[in-house]
Amino acid sequence: MLIVNEMLFEYNLSEQSRLSSNTSACMAHQVSDHMAEWRDYEKQIHEKFRIYFPTCKVIHNTTVRGRFSKTPRQVDIAVQSHVEGFHFFGAVECKYFNKRVDVKIVDSFIGFLDDIGADFGYIITNKGFTKSAANRASVPHLRLRVVEFNKLGIVQSDLDDLINQRIQALDCIEPVFLIRQQERSKFIDLPHTSLSTKTIVFKEGFADTQYFAHKKLLEETARVFRDFSCIDEVTVIIPAARESTIFCSSIKVHDFEAFLHVDVTTLRRDIKLWRQFLGSIKKPLVEQFAEKYVSRNPYQTAS
């Protein structure tokens, strides 16, 4: 009888071990499947962001050194952009859960975004989010969204909104004016550029041909009026070595608006309208502007 009991005990142990092994293998297989689905989910989101932000560098699975943690932080998807002279950096967190994103996840993500110095962030969820999570995502001075995967299209206008905010926040003071000109072009001649004199001077090499100089005079004049509402008149100077000429335009804002039939205040509010305006600048318009507002003086290089 004792031998039989021992045999039964050993059988039960063997059976439990077999069942445990099968369970572990099954769980490992499920985890592997879930991770594969998660990776595919991230790749789909990465591809969508590449489509929605065609002018940006969109990187999948990268690291950024934390400003405060002083350690590399993993970023599911990083979005980098340099547009209109502004630098933007955003992070995307891809959540593939069997439940809704809650407030704790958003709270943690806010700290993460602060550590990596992000201008904006997205938590993409496949299962939705709680009301408290959406409420917590409302953060001053930070564009943060919790977005359902099937509604990703709503992010397309966010970068434009950030650009609009940056432009409208520009202060009419000398340091901001000079920094803004540097952001716009490496060819700015800073010692001769000033808000107080309402003058922007470019270095040699910015424009080599007459037509390009004329076009840039028009565009840069429009840009200054758009960026700084305090400026009612501006002089822009561009030397063109190939033409042996210094091209210069001086114009008041109301004359500029009347000539082009535009409202610079509207251009300041909406970057989309600004792009449409730039697209409307064709050769006949440039030539009309040059004939009316551009003066020419001999230019000799330092050599």
Query: What are the chain's domains?
Result: 2-163 (3.40.1350.10), 170-298 (no CATH)
pLDDT at residue 115 in the model: 97
C-alpha 276/C-alpha 121 separation (Å) is 28
First to last CA, the chain: 112
What's the burial of 21, exposed, middle or buried (CB within 10 Å: 0-12/13-18/19+)?
Answer: exposed
Average pLDDT over residues 255-261: 96
| Residue 301 pLDDT level (bands cut at 50, 70, 90) | low
What distance in Å separates the CA atoms of residue 18 and residue 12, rounded to the nearest whole number? 10
200: three-class secondary structure by DSSP = strand
pLDDT score recorded for residue 31: 47
Q: How confident is the model at residue 303, as a pLDDT?
A: 52
How much of the chain, in percent, has pLDDT values that exceed 90? 64
- Label residue 9 by pLDDT band (50, 70, 90): low
pLDDT in tens, 10-56: 656 565 666 555 555 554 444 455 567 878 999 999 999 999 998 89
pLDDT at 34: 55
pLDDT of residue 94 exceeding 80, the answer is yes
Among 33-47, 55-69, 76-90, 248-262, the range scoring the smallest mean pLDDT is 33-47
Whether the pLDDT of residue 110 is over 80: the answer is yes
pLDDT given at position 29 = 47
Please, what is the average pLDDT of the chain? 88
pLDDT band at 240; cut points 50, 70, 90: confident
CB atoms closer than 10 angstroms to residue 238: 27
- Determine the pLDDT at residue 32: 53
Q: How many CB atoms lie within 10 A of CB 257?
A: 17
Residue with tokens 């107080």: 196
The answer to whether 159 and 56 have CB atoms below 8 angstroms apart is yes
Q: Which residues pair with 243 in a beta bridge?
A: none
pLDDT tops 90 at residue 72: yes
Question: Which alpha helices (H) appear in the chain, and where do they start and end?
Answer: 2-52, 103-116, 131-136, 158-168, 174-184, 210-227, 253-260, 264-269, 271-279, 283-293
- For the stretch 154-204, pLDDT in tens is 888 888 999 999 999 999 999 999 999 998 889 999 999 999 999 999 998
